[in-house]
Structure 1
Amino acid sequence: MKLLIALLLLVSTGTYAQRHSNFADSIRQHYNIPELAYAVVCDTGVMETQIFGTKKINSHLPAAPSDRFRIGSNTKAITSLLIAQQIQAGRLTWNTPFFAIFPELKAKSKPCYYDMTVADLLSFRNPLMPYSYGNEEPRKNQFPGTPSQQRMQFAAWLLQQPPNTSTGELKYSNAGYVLAGALLEKISGHTYEELLQNLNTSLSIHLQTGSPNEKDSTQTWGHNDHLQPEASAENYKLNWLMAAGNVNTNLSDYTILLSQQLKAFKGASPLLDSATVNFLHFGRHTFAMGWFWEVNKQGHQVSSNTGNPGTFITRVVMIPAVNRAYVVFTNYQEDKVYEGVNALITRLQSYYGE
């Protein structure tokens, strides 16, 4: 009888998985998305995953499980996780002031930045100027040296700029994560790239940086809002904004990272303890450490974020109360694509739990 029930459940799950797969591919086709991938994750692994389409529009490069996607601002959650590990190691706290780590920068920095803490940098609760890839200043030749040295000089430059004077507690800016990345490198004694590699080693995954097609033209290409594929090109600002939005990954490796965080909520992961992962996702209202969050109609805390670096959209939703994470990757960034991504996540949640 138990075997029969198990088989019936397997058939039922398989049937629903096929429906989800068909629905997902219909979304891909409706919104002209070259490639779409999704997964449903729990603390023990992947419950459902599919990938469809092509790596590049009008090409003969079919989608494959090894395909990599730029995750944009979902990098912020990874940076926050790396800092959380340093906090667990006792090297700093969430309330450590930035200038306690960098006293040498204080004299040339504007006084409005003196009181910023680690948590302020990670939760958009700081007055640093808005900064993204479109800003013209500073220029490339202003910061010589290694990638890490350039990032440090850029952080010092940001501290000398006029503050964001907009009203409201939350002030969205990549700049806080630039400073957080510099802080992370100093207290750990490792570059951001080295810390990422350490995380890779600990989880047997392969997070990388930059555009997937930069080193391999047969990898995934991003597409802009005109559905034009983005050719690989050197962009020095990707390095400066490393800790804010420059990670790429395949779906399988990203699900391992999510699964480990679901384990951590249960106190069962070597990655983070339960108190730390709770603060990471829910430690400040609205936006915590790299994660937006809210309470859904079921009364469950839901953390989420969206990466949109110009030619990719990556959306992740985590609901610890039901032991679920949902993730969708696309290689096309256009306003209407968000509708399709959200519709797919809603469909998956209605079956697997919200």
Structure 2
Amino acid sequence: MLFLFITTISFGQKTAKYADSIRISYNIPEISYAVVDSKSTLEIVALGLHSVELQDRATLNDRFHIGSNTKAMTAFIIAKYVENEKLNWTTRFFDIFPEWKEGSRTDYADITLLDLLSHKAKIQPFQGENDPQIPQFKGTNQQKRNQFAKFVLTLESVKPDGQNQFTYSNAGYTLATLMLERVTGKSWEQLVTKVFNKDLKLNVKLSWPENQKRKDTWGHSTENENLRPIPSTWDYHLDYTEPAGDLNIKLKDYAKFIQLNLQGLDGLDNYLKSETYKLIHKGVENYALGWFNIYENGKELSVHSGTGAFTYFTIVHIDRLKSKAYIIFTNSFNSNTQQGVRMLMKKLKENYGS
């Protein structure tokens, strides 16, 4: 056992050295990564700097904006309330908002909660490029999401991708969240606190990691091939799609969230029932509920990434057959970051048999 322990430490040190060489070669300020199975953390490492303009060293207490990896967490929250019979997966949007039906396009008459979370509702994407002009809404975040949703439902529906048969839509996740907000009487922000912080003790926070009052990560945009650190006070307009992409979390807490998913996929009930996890990950072809559902080369994968408004890049691959997950968090986003992360992901999978 002592030999195995020493060998494991040596193995992890070699991987960390490789990861740091990638970080330096591809000009990524910070890379933090973890490999987990359903019961334990096999490897977890933080490397690099909080910002290219600071000497703060990376730690495992660092927080990262996870962008579209928020979708899996929003779907998780909704799944809990489906289990509690507040909603059904087949509940239609206009069953919850009947008064909105008259002012909405008939294309959306029968869209369901499951359609919205699996991007089958043909809702406009709202991903920041070529989006329709959005009016300036006022009120609380929840009130603005309601106004935004009413607006979205007046827009022409979009045709799904011919290969994947879905249209990836941040706005669709706002609509799904509104359904839950109405039946629970709580805002998405309150539900995040209830499920992840009070129930699961995962210390999830909204929006960007705070880097002005404490030492923590800075996201980095890319201008003329140079990295520019972004302060947490930066006012990035997420177009009322926060439930699709606006949470931050520590890697070690995110790893615990992924372990809950691994346990469920292995047939164990925990915060959610095992049958719910199986629906979340593989109940719908191509894109299930917050996860790309991939079958290739004899493998079954749940995969997702997030860009943190093009300032962070986070990615997770769940090997459903091997019951292992690979998580990589970075605080920059460009082609170099993506290439470096691909190389590290490949190395981690080689090391751990995926």
Same fold (TM over 0.5): yes
Structure 2 residue 149 is matched with structure 1 residue 150: no
**Distance apart, 1:93 and its partner CA:** 1.8
**1:18 counterpart residue number:** 13
Alignment deviations for residues 16-56 of structure 1 (CA, whole Å, 9 cap, x no partner): 11111011111100110001100011112311000011111
Code of the aligned partner of 2:179:
L
Residues in 2 aligned to 1:275 and 1:166: alpha-carbon distance in whole angstroms: 28
Note closer, same or farther for the CA distance 1:239–1:131 as it changes in structure 2 (3 Å cut). Answer: closer
Percent of pairs with identical residues:
35
Alignment deviations for residues 195-240 of structure 1 (CA, whole Å, 9 cap, x no partner): 1111222221111111113663632110012311123345473371
**2:352 counterpart residue number:** 352
**1:219 counterpart residue number:** 216
The answer (yes or no) to whether the contact 2:87–2:180 under 8 Å persists in 1 is no
**Distance apart, 1:165 and its partner CA:** 3.8
Q: 1:186-335 to 2 correspondence within 5 Å?
A: 186-199=182-195, 200-213=197-210, 216=213, 218-226=215-223, 227-233=227-233, 235=235, 237-238=237-238, 240-297=240-297, 299-308=298-307, 309-335=309-335
**Distance apart, 1:136 and its partner CA:** 6.7
Residues in 2 aligned to 1:234 and 1:221: alpha-carbon distance in whole angstroms: 11
Residues in 2 aligned to 1:190 and 1:157: alpha-carbon distance in whole angstroms: 22
Residues in 1 aligned to 2:152 and 2:187: alpha-carbon distance in whole angstroms: 20
> In structure 2, which of residues 91, 96, 107 is the aligned counterpart of residue 112 of structure 1?
107
**Please, what TM-score do these two structures have when normalized by structure 1?**
0.93
Residues in 2 aligned to 1:167 and 1:348: alpha-carbon distance in whole angstroms: 32
Code of the aligned partner of 1:149:
Q
Residues in 2 aligned to 1:121 and 1:252: alpha-carbon distance in whole angstroms: 30
**2:39 counterpart residue number:** 44
Residues in 2 aligned to 1:15 and 1:325: alpha-carbon distance in whole angstroms: 21
Code of the aligned partner of 1:177:
Y
CA-based RMSD of the aligned residues comes to 1.7
> In structure 1, which of residues 122, 127, 130 is the aligned counterpart of residue 122 of structure 2?
127
* Unaligned residue ranges in structure 1 (runs of 5+): 1-5
The answer (yes or no) to whether the contact 1:314–1:330 under 8 Å persists in 2 is yes
**Please, what TM-score do these two structures have when normalized by structure 2?**
0.93
**2:3 counterpart residue number:** 8
**Aligned-partner SS, 1:223:** strand
Note closer, same or farther for the CA distance 1:214–1:55 as it changes in structure 2 (3 Å cut). Answer: closer
Structure 2 residue 91 is matched with structure 1 residue 96: yes
**1:164 counterpart residue number:** 158
**Distance apart, 1:125 and its partner CA:** 1.0
Kindly indicate which of the two structures has a greater share of residues assigned to helix. 1
* Unaligned residue ranges in structure 2 (runs of 5+): none
Code of the aligned partner of 2:36:
V
The answer (yes or no) to whether the contact 2:280–2:290 under 8 Å persists in 1 is yes
Aligned residues: 346
The answer (yes or no) to whether the contact 1:209–1:247 under 8 Å persists in 2 is yes
Alignment deviations for residues 278-311 of structure 1 (CA, whole Å, 9 cap, x no partner): 11011111111110121243x3311010101210
Alignment deviations for residues 244-292 of structure 1 (CA, whole Å, 9 cap, x no partner): 0001111011011011111122343421111110110111111111101
Alignment deviations for residues 61-90 of structure 1 (CA, whole Å, 9 cap, x no partner): 211211111101100111111111111111
The answer (yes or no) to whether the contact 2:212–2:231 under 8 Å persists in 1 is no
> In structure 2, which of residues 166, 179, 182 is the aligned counterpart of residue 183 of structure 1?
179
